[in-house]
Chains A and B, each alone.
Chain A
Amino acid sequence: MTKITPQFEDYWPSMQQAISKLLHQLDVSKLEWQELFWNVHNVLQWDEKAKDKLQDALHRDVLEFISEAQSTVLSHHDDQSLLKAYVAAWSKFFVQCNYLPLPFAPLMTNPNKSSNTKNTINEENIVRKLMYSSWNENIFSNIKHRLQDSAMKLVHAERNGEAFDTQLVIGVRESFVNLGSNANDKSIYIENFEKAYIESTESFYHSKAAEYLLSYGVQSYMVWADSKLKEESTRGAKYLEPFSLPALNDTCVRVLVTNNKDLILSECLGMIQGNNTNKLNLMFKLLDRIEEGVEPMLNYLEEHIVNQGLADIMASAEIITQDSEKYVEKLLNLFTKYSTLVKEAFNDDPRFLTARDKAFKQVVNDTSVFKLELASRPKMNNGQATKLPPESRCPEMLANFCDMLLRKTPLSRRLTSEEIEIKLKEVLLVLKYVVNKDVFMRYHKAHLTRRLILDSSADNEKEENMVEWLREVGVPADFVNKLARMFQDIKVSEDLNQQFKNSQNGTSEIINIKILNVGAWARGSERVQVSLPLELEDFIPEVEEFYKKKHSGRKLQWYHHMSNGTICFSNQYGRYDLDVTTFQMAVLFTWNERPTDKISFENIRLASELPDAELRRTLWSLVAFPKVKTQIILCDVPLKSMKDFTDTTLFWVNQDFHLIKNGKPQRRGKLNLIGRLQLSTEKSVEEDNEKIVQLRILRTQEAIVKIMKMRKRITNAQLQTELVEILKNMFLPSKKMIKEQIEWLIEQKYMRRDDDNIGVFIYMA
């Protein structure tokens, strides 16, 4: 049976015409275009062999077109015109590779498969593949090296400032990418074009960088290198496939930065010294492109801050060891300077912030200018005296400065409330870097005690704010709570004083009492006996009687070293009010019975009943008070040291004592003789230092037990690390102390060493 069915040969001539037009980029009408689709469809419908025939015919036509192109392209002998001709031909062909396959889509339809295989059409378009591979075999593969070389020459020329049609390079790259054995295989591109591009980049900058460094020096080089890195990244985006960019970047960084790293770094210290933030910022940006690149910069910064800080402090050691305000000011200038540097030069990068903090910590805790020696007498655990390595006096200075701000002083009067607040916050900033915060706390508490007892706080609200700020900077809660308790307690005591005054008449006018909870203030501190003026002695039982009615189960102890008052001194010049400690009062009142006598040290001691050391201190404050021209008491030894007083040294009242204001003698006036006399005894200062040591030992023991309980088994190194972490807001335990406490805890059978490994400890329940 023969049937007239459409044959391939019937359709081909008209199809061929359309195909040829498409290949040559001639106009194809809409009708012709649609017809091509229709014809392909028909011919495949009716002619079983049409698929092969169609492919063969198409191949032939493509080849024919390509060989035309080939002869046009290859007729150019010099590389530049070859490249131009090639890219022109390729660009046309490349476009057609996207159109021509469309009508032939049915060629790809596998009748066995459903239509959802369409997704893969693009990838495995056999017509396009046919077009590409023909192009590759006939034109590209023969000249690709020449094309590539020409393209690289153009890029090179562009780097030297020549402009050209960028499409020339892009066309070559497209050829490399598209002419692989399949759509996903980029290996031909990678092995040829990308490799050549990166290699030529490297060799270009290899020589350029050396040249530039030689002629312009490192600082200009950095500017240049930075701009070249940007330029090459833009250029790479134009001429390379996106996936090639990281490799290109690595190469650029290597040749422009890594290879000259040491030269660049050699400028770093000088720039830090010169506060060259812009240049440092550039250096940071460059070196941060390399792994570990900024590490040396961190070291330079840290070292410089430490050296500068210590040099500053050393240079003005004499002033700042005496003047806490100047000291804090110096430190803050240092902090501000380098915090600004880290911000401007290093964008507050955390690594640089850490280096800055490490340096500040070292400066603040340095012991070369100030030393604080802490030691405990042999009473703790194993009967050995614990002596700690010397520590920085910084925390003491900070506490002193806080006191100047919080107390009524010329400084606190001069500053506004806001300024005081700013300065207190600055102190807290420095405190953050202090390793042994417990020392600050001890002094701060002593000063606060003094301010509250003497009613000398400049601003009560600020006092209480300070407590909360201390909490915020991580001062341990139990310490902060103790301070808060002192404020509570002083309020309770004020109420009590009022009740007392209401219950009395007469004496109550001149007498105020503060009865405080010993737990909040001064547990276990030493008291000193003194013989009170008679009128005051009588008053003591009255208070005790009053207190007994209010409370039960309580015992009272008088802290005369904390009490104080105002006395009036009269002589021929006038009448002067003197603020005095009770000890000073007891000494001065000795003369009430014999106003013009010269009295010996020994007799004053008998009258006042003060211990030798306290009497010396007290008398010294009366014969050598720094703020007055005429002293209230005179003596018969030269005023060199309170140690020069002997039992027979004579003291008498200076009848010529008077106050001078604006060069004129005053008939009336007030003088505060308490001055810097601490409301504590000689011995208690020593005891306080000792208490710090004992508390450290105790805290260290507690912390070790706590860690052992949790870990059960721990290496020595790990134990030390965790210990430092737990104690960090109080103090830094010394290696020696840790070792001693571990030994002690082992002796006490809280823990033991592992039998197999002495570097491991085991908790014993």
Chain B
Amino acid sequence: MTVNNNNNNNSSNADSSNNNKLFSLKKWNAVAMWSWDVVSDTCAICRVILMDACLRCQADNKQDDCVAVWGECNHSFHNCCMSLWVQQNNRCPLCQQEWIVQRIGK
């Protein structure tokens, strides 16, 4: 169920439709927080919390571009950190399985 029916899309109409109720809703400001859907909070490569940008991006002030990456093994890191890592070693630093990207956060 929704608060208003679709015909009443200004608030004075919304008021009148709820006239019979003791308390009626006029406005709601909902707050949610997002975080990467990861098992471990910290990037095992740079040791910074995944919700913060990696050190490189912090220094370059590119906080918003620094996303998380998940491997098939379900381990996750900063995408920046992992891109550098795989140039040296194509295995997950945590479980040593071959690194295959499952998804990249956005």
Contacts and interface: CB of A to CB of B under 8 A. Distances in A.
Given A519-B49, A534-B1, A509 B9 contact: yes
Interface of A is mostly: mixed
B105 A543 contact: no
B2 A558 contact: no
A560 B4 CA distance: 22
B32 A558 contact: yes
Contact of B30 (A506, A512, A575, A588): A512
Given A553-B105, A554-B105, A562 B31 contact: yes
Contacts of A540: 30
A551 interface: yes
B105 A565 contact: no
Interface in A299-338: none
A691 interface: no
Interface in B1-39: 1-6, 9-11, 14-15, 18-19, 21-37
Nearest to A510: B27
- Contact-size category for B: 35 or more
Contact of A511 (B28, B36, B58, B106): B28
B30 A518 contact: no
Interface string A508-522: 011111111111011
B33 to A, nearest CB: 4
A563 B68 contact: no
B27 A517 contact: no
A485 B103 contact: no
Contacts, number: 174
B105 A552 contact: yes
A420 to B, nearest CB: 26
Given A492-B64, A553-B37, A589-B23, A507 B29 contact: no
Contact of A523 (B4, B6, B51, B103): B51
A516 B58 CA distance: 18
B68 A538 contact: no
A507 B30 contact: no
Nearest to A559: B31
Given A543-B30, A553-B67, A506 B51 contact: no
A448 B9 CA distance: 33
B28 A510 contact: yes
Contacts of A454: 29
Contact of B35 (A519, A536, A571): A519
A555 interface: yes
A516 B14 CA distance: 29
A539 B49 CA distance: 31
Nearest to B38: A553
Given A536-B28, A558-B31, A553 B68 contact: yes
A505 B51 contact: no
A556 interface: yes
B2 A506 contact: yes
Contacts of B1: 534-535, 538
A675 to B, nearest CB: 16
Nearest to A564: B29
A567 interface: yes
A689 B66 CA distance: 31
B84 to A, nearest CB: 20
B77 interface: no
B45 interface: no
B28 A516 contact: no
A510 B67 contact: no
Contacts of A555: 34-37
B34 A518 contact: yes
Interface residues of A, number: 63
A556 B6 contact: no
A496 B18 CA distance: 29
Contacts of A543: 30, 32
B57 interface: no
Given A509-B14, A553-B68, A569-B22, A515 B32 contact: yes
A506 B35 contact: no
A579 to B, nearest CB: 9
A514 B9 contact: no
Contacts of B35: 517-519, 554-555, 557
Contacts of B31: 453, 513-514, 516, 558-560, 562-563
B32 to A, nearest CB: 5
B4 A510 contact: yes
Q: Which of A521, A535, A589 has the most CB of B within 10 A?
A: A535
Question: Counting chain B CB atoms within 10 Å of each CB, which of A509, A559, A562 scores highest?
Answer: A509
Given A569-B22, A592-B21, A507 B2 contact: yes
B29 A512 contact: yes
Interface in B50-84: 51-52, 58, 63-64, 67-68, 70
A9 interface: no
Nearest to B53: A519
Nearest to A555: B37
Interface in A573-609: 575, 577, 582, 585, 588-589, 591-592, 595
Contacts of A45: none
A565 B25 contact: yes
Contacts of B64: 488, 492
A517 B70 CA distance: 19
A481 B62 CA distance: 12
A653 B22 contact: yes
B86 interface: no
Chain B CB count within 10 A is highest, among A519, A533, A540, for A519
A485 B23 contact: no
A592 B22 contact: yes
A568 interface: yes
A552 B106 contact: yes
A65 interface: no
Given A559-B31, A589-B23, A592-B21, A509 B105 contact: no
Nearest to B37: A555
Contacts of B51: 517-519, 523
A557 B6 CA distance: 28
Contacts of A212: none
A431 to B, nearest CB: 25
A140 B15 CA distance: 119
A601 to B, nearest CB: 19
Interface string A447-472: 00000011100000000000000000
Given A510-B11, A553-B70, A515 B26 contact: no
A509 B15 CA distance: 12
B104 interface: yes
A752 to B, nearest CB: 25
B33 A559 contact: yes
A507 B3 contact: yes
A512 B30 CA distance: 6
A566 B25 CA distance: 7
A654 to B, nearest CB: 11
A553 B36 contact: yes
A570 interface: yes
A505 B33 contact: no
B33 A556 contact: yes
Most interface-central of A533, A536, A554, A571 (chain B CB within 10 A): A554
Contacts of A535: 1-3, 25
| 3 closest A-B pairs by CB | A519-B51, A553-B105, A565-B28
17 contacts: A454-B29, A510-B3, A510-B28, A511-B28, A513-B29, A514-B31, A514-B32, A516-B31, A551-B34, A553-B37, A553-B103, A554-B37, A557-B33, A566-B26, A567-B25, A569-B22, A575-B15
Given A556-B34, A585-B23, 17 more contacts: A510-B14, A510-B25, A511-B30, A513-B29, A515-B32, A518-B35, A522-B33, A536-B3, A538-B1, A539-B30, A554-B37, A555-B34, A555-B35, A559-B31, A562-B31, A582-B28, A592-B22
